[in-house]
Structure 1
Amino acid sequence: MDSYLKRKPKKNEDNLSPKKSKKEVCPHGVRCYRRNPHHFKEYDHPHFDLLIGKGDSVNIPDHFPQSKDVYIDQLKILNSLTHNTQSEKQGIQPSSSGTVLSNDSQLQSSSSNVVDRVRLSSKNKTTTFIMENKKNVSKPDDSKTMAQKIKENEPYCLFFSKIPDEPLTCNQQNSITFKDLLCPSLGELKCSLQINFMIDIAWLIEQYIAQGVGKKPLTIIYGDDWPDMEKYIQMMLPNVTSHFMKMKDPFGIHHSKIGIYVYTDHSVRVVVSTANLYFEDWNHYNQGLWVSPKCPVLPDSCKETDGVGVTAFKTNFLLYLKSYNLPILKDWIEYVKRADFSAVRTMFVYSAPGKSYMANTSSHLQRVGDLLSRHVTLPVKTTPESEGPLSWGIIAQASSIGSLGKTPGEWLRKFFLGSLSSHKQNSFTENSNATLNVIYPTVENVLKSFYGPSGGGCLPYSKNTNEKQKWLQDYLHQWKADETHRSRIMPHIKTYCRVSPCLSKLAWFLLTSANLSKSAWGGNIQRDKSVYVRSYEAGVLFLPKFFDEEFFNIKENSDNSNLFPIMYDLPLVPYQSSDYPWCN
């Protein structure tokens, strides 16, 4: 149960008995921020039932934690779902700001506040909700602009999500919120594209509004089909263009998490993330995101192949966008074509559904292995005591695990580890002898998190799958991130890396949406050197070579002043015999 549900009930809130409902009660209680009609069809909200049942004009209680605008919008949705016909007869119409107002009670203004009246019927009673919407400007997260944060976090520009319930995360140099990505200091926004799995459009628009760009053209491509979302967009958001990505493979998902931001000077910025676009993902879970430099527009005379840069990020990013074959992406492909990505130092990695061959590298399995074999140099073992490639261990940290087979040699070691253990002296080798450790939260990790069992909501590992691969226990390690104050926050971030035996250096680092599964990375390599991929995934690979470094340093006492940000603690803590991975 969420920690906020464990608090002592307040008078006139939880101690009153709400009317009975066949629907499941919303687990967020009065903290619910959702403004999607489907959510209100599926869940009951007793705090509204109590207020409506009084039948009198009442104020929204001051101790309700969300802003009163949220409750206004929620009441409007309830009104449209349950009393649409009656509402029309009563003359309830949306105001220009989207707030439901009764025709006989228009906005009453004063220098200090605006009073919004919302009429809602409950059985035979009509209740008017009077909500004071005070003109208080939200305080910024801190005094620094996002442009300043990017400058401070160069050259890697790898950021983590701020978690309000752990204030120490909010003070970290590389912690940001989604709203930071829309900060005016980054440029005057012209339009943006969000490619993601789950999108709560009301929450997303709220972030845009908070930065003064709520009416800018926004395109979304999403993979989780929420009923009534398209209807909501059509009714309320004329500036939003959307496309639901229906997957042909029933076991595949549209899981990529990418943002493209185009500014009025036609420059482009790309963000590759692990976070879905809804409240919990950005406030309750550990996330990671890479923010690109601002890529200026090229002269009209330039070709698509210009501005590719040393990592060919642009080339591979275009291949990814084109793999959708969607008309809705035509303009965005043109924006990317016309941008100069020369300043980008990361490699773009993606998976796209279908058969993948080394020629097009549209699978994580092939793409990562190919890049590592071409660009990563590890110490050569010259004596029995010297450090060699096999002394550098591989760490896979994910928020979910797929069906990996009956034995570790079926896929995990034969193909997955074969890819990740590649380097210049030793390209892709099946059944690698390299050390592999997997970080995934235990039941105890989740139960001790800030949000208790609900903290495991971002960890959809199937119990049935786990029971079929008990051998995986030998590879599993607990979630522990004391150094970054994130142990009690569950990880939705996905990272893969190779670490030195002294635990102070990385040979490479991958941030991606891809969990530890065949669907995301690609299945077994076939005789024709192809692999089958089920899902869309996207990530960025950091290679020291392109940052003019031999290795990435992750310890303060290293010689290099550039410290690469890693979220979890080293050394790792292996599972004990009594530990069990969190499963849903």
Structure 2
Amino acid sequence: MDAFLLKRKVQDANSHDNAKKTCKEKCPHAAKCYRRNPHHFKEFDHPHLDALLEKGEFLELPPDYPQDKQVVKEQLEVLRGLRNVKPKLEQVASAKEHVEERPSSSSVSKVGDKRLSSRNKSTSYTAQTSSTVSNKSSNMKPMAERLKENGPYNLFFTTIPDAPQTHTQQNSITFTDLLCPSLGELKCSLQINFMIDIAWLMEQYLKAGQGKKPLTILYGDEWPDMKKYIELMLPNVTEHLVKIKDPFGIHHSKVGIYVYSDNSLRVVVSTANLYYEDWNYYCQGLWISPLCPVLPEDSPDKAGESPTNFKSTLLSYLQQYNIGVLKTWIDYVKRADFSNVKVFLITSVPGKYTSVGKPVHCHLHSVGELLSHHCVLPAKTTPTSEGPLSWGVLAQSSSIGSLGKVPAEWLRGTLLRSLASHKDCRLPANSNSTLSIIFPTKDNVLSSYYGPQGGGCLPYSKSVHEKQKWLKDYLHQWKADHTNRSRAMPHIKTYCRVSPCTTKLAWFLITSANISKSAWGGNITKAGTSYVRSYEVGVLFLPKYFEETYFQIKDTGDDTKLFPFIYDIPLTPYKNADEPWCN
């Protein structure tokens, strides 16, 4: 389990009876505070808001008041909910009307991550920054045109406000770009994620003019007051908390499904949680599907499958939840034509799996089997020729779990069995393949745009690292100069196999799954089974489905379309004095 999540659960277990006054630290932003999520108000005192709340009504603020009037009104609504103070009906109606009908040209919401209060307490950003990001986005081409330009891979990275060069990159994206009308007239949408700041998310829909469209959210990180907030403010939102019995498992998937007025749809697989920091501070990646049109009414149930079985895997994944709120979405997927999708959907769902059966909701088995069938590496024909072992396996993530006392226990003995597979070598038990892990050093984080706060997305436990010091032999620094993202810390998770000349990839995986047993699956038993604890989703790119032998990631002057790659290679190994960033 992520260290910050464990800490949060302990904090939540110890906090009760929100109506009671407790001795809390005063919010460092005072009257400039922009937060509207309940957990921030549970952790910090706001005397200026208490004074307004005790008056029983909302007073007009002076012209020079340091915060927007509507922000203060929404903060008071949150406080009333926490303390079970019922507001006057006209106040509720006024706030509700404002939330639903705010013009899309309004500035970005200044709502932070609820986990930020426990990891980045002093983080703030200004309205000027938000406005700048919004303007940059609006000056770019319509999203449908940009999606076409980024085909056939459709792989994007998030814009970093503090890195101006990323504002105009062809495959840089903001969340509101996903709601661009050029992609279609939005009918409704589904967001499956780990952490959702509902106030920030609704701001993005409002900015895009989609604030009233039906929205369904599935989330894994419990907000005790989210139901109250949605009940009071958001009649168009349906929510469901995904509960996991296993204390070491989390609902970590990050998927969006966008249905348009003609019942066509798009699927987005992302690495980003749905709150401000994840979409502005950190490096994230996302794949956007081509438009999947609706099938004719008389089409058979199995019609519209992709060459990669994407549709059946997605349907099976959604069905694993076994919850009523997804029935409509399952029906939408069943009636859509996925034949133009060229990537494989890779999923993990809590449970025990073997490689037998389709689909298998276990990253270890799914990736290993697909690479065993489709990954082609050069054969070693002479002592000096490349051969499969000269192609290195690269693993890059934002967190690392407990991997064991020695590399052979899980990292090489299980994970590498999957990642090193290819057509001539299925699930090698003792692979000699080179494995390199990209994870930020302390210096990487301290020199980031946000200093120590930049490490908030890297919940690698110091106590865990102390038990696996051997891991340092595998670690490499985070550097992304060629995409202007070296100083923005990576929350993205990617895995690939690169040629010895570092210009080509044999395959590429982007996923929510960090390097952990919970995400990928535990040690493979003698019976071939592996136990998964968490929900995860990613997409696997294999060259043959793009009519290529390998993906080209560096310009070699032959006009080959480049596959988007976020960090720099050759890699930079840790120096002797380097240590991974740990919480």
Q: Tell me, yes or no, if structure 1 residue 515 matches structure 2 residue 506.
A: no
Q: Structure 1: which amino acid aligns with 2:62?
A: N
In structure 2, the partner of 1:180 is: 177
* Uncovered stretches (5+) of structure 2, i.e. residues with no partner: 1-20, 100-105, 107-130
CA distance in structure 2 between the partners assigned to 1:547 and 1:40 by the alignment? 50
In structure 1, the partner of 2:483 is: 484
In structure 2, relative to structure 1, the CA distance for the partners of 1:98 and 1:400 (3 Å cut) is same
Conserved? CA contact 2:496–2:507, under 8 Å: yes
| Aligned residue runs from structure 1 range 515-534, under 5 A | 515-534=514-533
CA distance in structure 1 between the partners assigned to 2:548 and 2:409 by the alignment? 36
CA distance in structure 2 between the partners assigned to 1:460 and 1:330 by the alignment? 35
Shift of 1:53: 12
Q: Tell me, yes or no, if structure 1 residue 59 matches structure 2 residue 62.
A: yes
Shift of 1:248: 1.4
Shift of 1:96: 4.1
In structure 1, the partner of 2:103 is: none
CA distance in structure 2 between the partners assigned to 1:30 and 1:516 by the alignment? 41
> Greater Rg, structure 1 or structure 2?
1
CA distance in structure 2 between the partners assigned to 1:529 and 1:83 by the alignment? 53
Conserved? CA contact 2:81–2:228, under 8 Å: no
Conserved? CA contact 1:270–1:292, under 8 Å: yes
Shift of 1:75: 3.6
CA distance in structure 1 between the partners assigned to 2:461 and 2:61 by the alignment? 46
Conserved? CA contact 1:504–1:558, under 8 Å: no
| Aligned residue runs from structure 1 range 404-483, under 5 A | 404-483=403-482
| Aligned residue runs from structure 1 range 318-467, under 5 A | 318-358=315-355, 359-360=357-358, 361-467=360-466
Q: Deviations over 1:103-146 (max 9, x none)?
A: xxxxxxxxxx9xxxxxxxxxxxxxxxxxxxxxx99645323111
In structure 2, the partner of 1:495 is: 494
| Aligned residue runs from structure 1 range 245-256, under 5 A | 245-256=242-253
Conserved? CA contact 1:34–1:203, under 8 Å: no
CA distance in structure 1 between the partners assigned to 2:25 and 2:432 by the alignment? 50
In structure 2, relative to structure 1, the CA distance for the partners of 1:283 and 1:534 (3 Å cut) is same
CA distance in structure 2 between the partners assigned to 1:30 and 1:552 by the alignment? 52
3-state SS of paired residue (2:138): coil
Shift of 1:426: 1.1
In structure 2, the partner of 1:39 is: 40
In structure 1, the partner of 2:78 is: 77
Conserved? CA contact 1:415–1:431, under 8 Å: no
CA distance in structure 2 between the partners assigned to 1:273 and 1:219 by the alignment? 17
CA distance in structure 2 between the partners assigned to 1:197 and 1:56 by the alignment? 37
Q: Tell me, yes or no, if structure 1 residue 274 matches structure 2 residue 275.
A: no
3-state SS of paired residue (2:408): coil
In structure 1, the partner of 2:154 is: 157
Q: Deviations over 1:189-228 (max 9, x none)?
A: 1111000000011111111111111111111110000110
3-state SS of paired residue (2:203): helix
Of 200, 204, 228 in structure 1, the residue corresponding to residue 225 of structure 2 is 228
In structure 2, the partner of 1:93 is: 91
3-state SS of paired residue (2:409): coil
CA distance in structure 2 between the partners assigned to 1:149 and 1:45 by the alignment? 44
In structure 2, relative to structure 1, the CA distance for the partners of 1:53 and 1:191 (3 Å cut) is closer
Conserved? CA contact 1:76–1:99, under 8 Å: no
Give the TM-score taking structure 1 as reference length.
0.85
Give the TM-score taking structure 2 as reference length.
0.86
Query: Identical aligned pairs, as a percentage?
Result: 63
Shift of 1:430: 1.2
CA distance in structure 1 between the partners assigned to 2:33 and 2:455 by the alignment? 18
In structure 2, relative to structure 1, the CA distance for the partners of 1:185 and 1:573 (3 Å cut) is same
3-state SS of paired residue (2:162): coil
CA distance in structure 1 between the partners assigned to 2:247 and 2:519 by the alignment? 14
In structure 1, the partner of 2:213 is: 216
Q: Structure 1: which amino acid aligns with 2:342?
A: R
Of 286, 290, 310 in structure 1, the residue corresponding to residue 283 of structure 2 is 286
CA distance in structure 2 between the partners assigned to 1:31 and 1:398 by the alignment? 35
3-state SS of paired residue (2:190): strand
Conserved? CA contact 2:158–2:280, under 8 Å: yes
3-state SS of paired residue (2:372): helix
In structure 2, the partner of 1:109 is: none
Shift of 1:541: 0.2
In structure 2, relative to structure 1, the CA distance for the partners of 1:479 and 1:159 (3 Å cut) is same
Conserved? CA contact 2:268–2:288, under 8 Å: yes
CA distance in structure 1 between the partners assigned to 2:187 and 2:147 by the alignment? 20
CA distance in structure 2 between the partners assigned to 1:549 and 1:218 by the alignment? 38
Of 167, 184, 194 in structure 2, the residue corresponding to residue 170 of structure 1 is 167
Conserved? CA contact 1:198–1:224, under 8 Å: yes
CA distance in structure 1 between the partners assigned to 2:161 and 2:497 by the alignment? 31
3-state SS of paired residue (1:93): helix
CA distance in structure 1 between the partners assigned to 2:26 and 2:488 by the alignment? 25
Conserved? CA contact 2:74–2:95, under 8 Å: no
Q: Deviations over 1:357-401 (max 9, x none)?
A: 212421100000100111111111111111111000010000000
Q: Deviations over 1:315-374 (max 9, x none)?
A: 111111111111111111111011000000000000000101212421100000100111
Structure richer in strand, relative to its length: 1
Shift of 1:22: 2.8
Structure richer in helix, relative to its length: 2
Q: Deviations over 1:229-277 (max 9, x none)?
A: 1111111111111110010111000000000011110101000000000
3-state SS of paired residue (2:325): helix
CA distance in structure 2 between the partners assigned to 1:467 and 1:324 by the alignment? 37
Shift of 1:44: 3.0
In structure 2, relative to structure 1, the CA distance for the partners of 1:560 and 1:372 (3 Å cut) is farther
In structure 1, the partner of 2:142 is: 145
CA distance in structure 1 between the partners assigned to 2:335 and 2:408 by the alignment? 45
CA root-mean-square deviation: 2.6
CA distance in structure 1 between the partners assigned to 2:334 and 2:60 by the alignment? 57
In structure 2, the partner of 1:549 is: 548
3-state SS of paired residue (1:84): coil
In structure 2, relative to structure 1, the CA distance for the partners of 1:25 and 1:393 (3 Å cut) is farther
Conserved? CA contact 2:32–2:66, under 8 Å: no
Shift of 1:559: 2.6
CA distance in structure 2 between the partners assigned to 1:569 and 1:29 by the alignment? 41
3-state SS of paired residue (1:438): strand
- Count of aligned positions: 527
CA distance in structure 2 between the partners assigned to 1:304 and 1:38 by the alignment? 45
CA distance in structure 2 between the partners assigned to 1:562 and 1:531 by the alignment? 38
Conserved? CA contact 2:53–2:76, under 8 Å: no
CA distance in structure 2 between the partners assigned to 1:32 and 1:509 by the alignment? 42
3-state SS of paired residue (1:336): helix
Conserved? CA contact 2:347–2:362, under 8 Å: yes
Conserved? CA contact 2:447–2:487, under 8 Å: yes
| Aligned residue runs from structure 1 range 555-574, under 5 A | 555-574=554-573
Conserved? CA contact 2:242–2:251, under 8 Å: yes
Shift of 1:313: 0.7
CA distance in structure 1 between the partners assigned to 2:524 and 2:581 by the alignment? 30
CA distance in structure 2 between the partners assigned to 1:477 and 1:404 by the alignment? 17
